[in-house]
Structure 1
Amino acid sequence: MSKFGMYAKFTAKPGGREALAAILLEAAAAAETVSECELYIVNLSESEPDVLWVTEVWSNAEAHAASLNDEATRATIQRAMPLIAGVEPIPLVPLGGKGLAFGAKDA
């Protein structure tokens, strides 16, 4: 089964980027206890003042999908929604690199 990755571009409503970043960082902290979430990094765009990027790697696509149905995750999403002007997800298939562990079954 292949790993699942995503770059998600979050465009905050004007003036909402810091508050949205705080919520996304809370989600990153919560992901520390989810073994299927291997990477969750919140990034600020240097060139777009209302944009944040989230970089995610999951053990598989099913684990990512299941996380979106988690009650705590759904509550976090509801808190973030009023701050979001748009989201552009870019799904990926991670192949490897520094920081990603791949077992024989992942290759």
Structure 2
Amino acid sequence: MRTKPGHRDDVVALLLDGEDGLRAAGCDLYVVGTSADEPDLVWVYEVWLSEEHHTASLELPETKAAIATAMPMLTGEFTGQQLDIAGGLGVPR
């Protein structure tokens, strides 16, 4: 996701604040990253127990509140890709 200039660190802090809720909702892996080459870009990698777990997490009050807080700091430019995970280090089997 792309942030408005000067808001990257605020968005990163907001994304990292919800780790415990994500785990409880069925998220196995959640990684937030940035790049020095693109200072307004934030990368989020997530591995969920299922697509249903992810969809349900979007309905949680704390998730809705975090999205509402983040939206004014974002440009609206989002990309995403869904994968079927075969396995790997850090991913439950």
Specify if TM > 0.5. Answer: yes
The residue that corresponds to 1:70 in the other structure is: 60
Q: Could you tell me how far 1:87 is from its partner in structure 2? A: 1.6
Task: Give the residue type in structure 2 aligned to 1:39.
Answer: L
- Higher relative CO (Cα under 8 Å, sequence separation at least 6) belongs to 1
2:83 counterpart of 1:97:
no
TM-score, structure 1 as length reference? 0.79
The residue that corresponds to 2:6 in the other structure is: 15
CA RMSD in angstroms, aligned pairs only = 1.2
Q: Could you tell me how far 1:28 is from its partner in structure 2? A: 2.7
> What 5-or-longer segments of structure 2 have no aligned partner?
none
TM-score, structure 2 as length reference? 0.90
The residue that corresponds to 2:71 in the other structure is: 81
Count of matched residue pairs: 92
Distance in 1 of aligned mates of 2:23 and 2:6: 28
Task: Give the residue type in structure 2 aligned to 1:44.
Answer: T
Which structure shows the bigger proportion of residues in helix conformation? 2
> What 5-or-longer segments of structure 1 have no aligned partner?
1-9, 103-107
Which structure shows the bigger proportion of residues in strand conformation? 1
